[in-house]
Structures are given as C-alpha cells and as structure tokens.
Amino acid sequence: MSTLQTLLATVSDQSARSVRVCMPATVESFDGPSQTCSAKPSLTELASDGSRTTLPVVTGIPVMFPGSASFGLTFPLAKGDNVLLVFADSCIDGWYAGVSNTNTRTHHLSDCYAIPGGRTTASKLSEFKTDSTVLGKQGDTGVRVSAGKVELGVTHSESATEASVLGNAQRTAFDSFVNSLKTALNTVLATGSNGGGPVVFAGLVALGVAIDAAKSTYDSAQFLSTKVKVK
C-alpha cells in the first residue's frame, strides 16, 4: 500500500473512531423532576493505538420517555438500570434549553440522551408474555392486554375472572330492580287496604313473583363487561 493510501486509511480510521453513534450504559442516578439521569457507558472506546479507554460517567442526560407534547408514559429509573445512549451529530445544549445553539462540537460524549431499556442475558426480564402486552412491575401485579380481553391486577401467572362492572348500565339495572319492587309493594298495600285477609296473602304471593321477575331482569342486564376482567 502506498504512503498516500496508508495516510488516507489512517485518517479515515481516526475519523470513524471519533464519531459516536450509540452505546449501552448503566444508570448511576435518576432525577424525576428534571427527567434526567447520570449513566456510565458500558463499553470501552478503542483508541488509534489499539488501546481501550474507559469512559466516564455522563451527567445531566435527558431521558426520552415515550410520549407527545400532552401525553406520556413515565416510570422511575433506578441505579443499575440499563439505558441506550444515543449521541447527537451536534451539540444539544441549545435544543435542550430552548435557545439557539452556538457550540460547534460534534458527536461529543455529553451530547446524548438516554432511552430506557436494553438488556443483557443476565438482566433479561424473568417474566415475559408472548401473547399479550403487559404493563407493570416484575413479580407484582399489573395490567395485561390480549386479544379481546383486558385484565387488571394480575401477576404473571394469574388470570382475572371477575367481570368489571359498567357503572351506568349497572345503575340503570339497579334502578329498574328497585322500581319494580316499589310497584309490587304498592300493589300489596293497596290490596290490603281493600279487604285484608286472603286478599293480602294473594298480594304477598304476587309480591314474591314480582321480586323474582325483577331479580331475573337485573341478573340478565348487560352491566358486566365481557372484555375487562379484574382479580
């Protein structure tokens, strides 16, 4: 290889080494109010002489939680959690502060943001469902969404069986039940005032029939969800 080719290869190699793209890191600390963290890069950096450099802890890293301007999915990060550091092409200080950017640095270690997640074999999730989406803490209760069903308050190995009550429909069914009882009771009272004795007995029998009918109507009312189950 000619001297020029060697020089160009060296320059190209050095340029490539100076461009940071992304790398896994481990959280050292997390600040909820500012939604920033400090993290230690998990990989070493290869120098031009073949040696490897241990990278320092990066502080004040914006954590990118899923969301938009008005909605978001948030959760706390703890020391030891894994994140992916994504390095920007240019300085992000101005962007982060909402002002104009005047710094000309590129691919700098401090110009990154953290995406929670990324797991090694040793830190992979111990509980994982292949047929549903689960939101919750490992080893604790959560929300599970699968085809045609939402389960609330279940652990990894549990299934929710109790139907969730649909409030407005339940209230309508209950009101209908109570009104039916009132109507039957008023009928008995009216019958009793007109003679008593066997007539009142017949009225009580009718009240029993009315109660059974009202209960049957209440039991068949569609106020229990067919899709949302609770434990």
- 76's CB contacts (< 8 A; 6+ apart) are 30, 32
- Indicate the residue type of 124: K
Q: Which of 99, 228, 91, 212 is nearest to 166 (CA)?
A: 228
Residue-level pLDDT at 57: 97
- Indicate the residue type of 177: F
Residue-level pLDDT at 15: 58
Residue-level pLDDT at 159: 92
Residue-level pLDDT at 8: 61
Residue-level pLDDT at 194: 55
pLDDT < 70: residue spans in the chain: 1-2, 4-18, 191-201, 203
- The sign of the dihedral angle between the CA atoms of 130, 134, 136, 141 is negative
Full-model pTM = 0.74
For residue range 139-158, what is the model confidence (pLDDT) as tens digits? 999 999 999 999 999 999 99
- Which position has the token pair 């120098």? 47
Residue-level pLDDT at 220: 77
Residue-level pLDDT at 199: 63
From start to end of 63-156, where are the E strands? 82-87, 112-116, 133-136, 142-146, 149-154
Residue-level pLDDT at 202: 72
Q: Which residues of 199-209 are buried (b: 16+ CB within 10 A; e: fewer)?
A: ebeebeeebee
Residue-level pLDDT at 215: 78
Residue-level pLDDT at 31: 97
Altogether, the residues listed in the chain come to a count of 231
Residue-level pLDDT at 213: 79
Residue-level pLDDT at 33: 95
- 122's CB contacts (< 8 A; 6+ apart) are none
For residue range 41-70, what is the model confidence (pLDDT) as tens digits? 999 988 777 788 899 999 999 999 999 999
